Amino acid sequence: MFIITTRSQDMNAHATPTPETSVGLPRLNEPAPAFDALTTDGRKTNADYKGKWLILFSHPADFTPVCTTEFVAFANRAEEFAALDTQLLGLSIDSHYAHIAWMRSIKASFGIEIPFPIIADLDMKVAQTYGMIQPGASDTQAVRATFVIDPEGILRAMVYYPMTNGRSVDEFLRLVKALQTSDTHKVATPENWTPGQDVIVPTPQTAAAAEARMSEGFDTKDWYFSTKSL
């Protein structure tokens, strides 16, 4: 699994890509790449999701078992995403008709109705723009890439899984909650944070502020590490 999120302070410098391995990726904290695509719910563009959070996720192919489990999981949690003002949008390099047939198959076989649209990306335009095509995995299928886009259309997180392993839908619920909490309260969240747990207070930026931090009333382990409840 390859994860990129905003505000990382622990990432190593990127190696210079070679022509053989270079894969274009969108950039965090910049506008998400524009798209205008046919879906199972008509044409969709970035503008359709303005003012809402969006999870755009790709899968390798319709009528495959791992992808089916993911779609069932996203469908089962769709109301929880909606409660977070978050929309879901799938994508694969399959036809519009294949998507419709697969959605009907899932309903018939698993009793689950897919409540979100799926992009038909036969020309791979959206997949290539978002770096969903990974040559080391496949030149004709999208890997399990997931993008979290905020209400202003800014890309806030990217998560990549290999084609052989399904992603965790619970993690994307958790991640959206964490991002929304950070935006609202101007804080960071620790490893595996969930609502109700303490959050991390921004680190002091001057020596004087570091000295003052020790007496500011937070749960302070050292000048650079303080937490508080919300």
CA-closest candidate to residue 183, choices 160, 206, 158, 150: 150
Buried b (16+ CB within 10 A) or exposed e, 80-95: ebeeeebbbbbbbbbe
Give phi and psi for 58, each to the nearest 5: -105, 155
Q: Are 106 and 72 in contact (CB under 8 A)?
A: yes
Give phi and psi for 156, each to the nearest 5: -110, -25
Examine the residue annotation and report whether 67 is marked as an active-site residue of this protein.
yes
**Strand, helix or coil at 192?**
coil
Active-site annotation holder among 28, 37, 56, 67: 67
**Strand, helix or coil at 166?**
coil
* Other CB atoms within 10 A of residue 173 CB: 18
**Active site (catalytic) residues:** 67
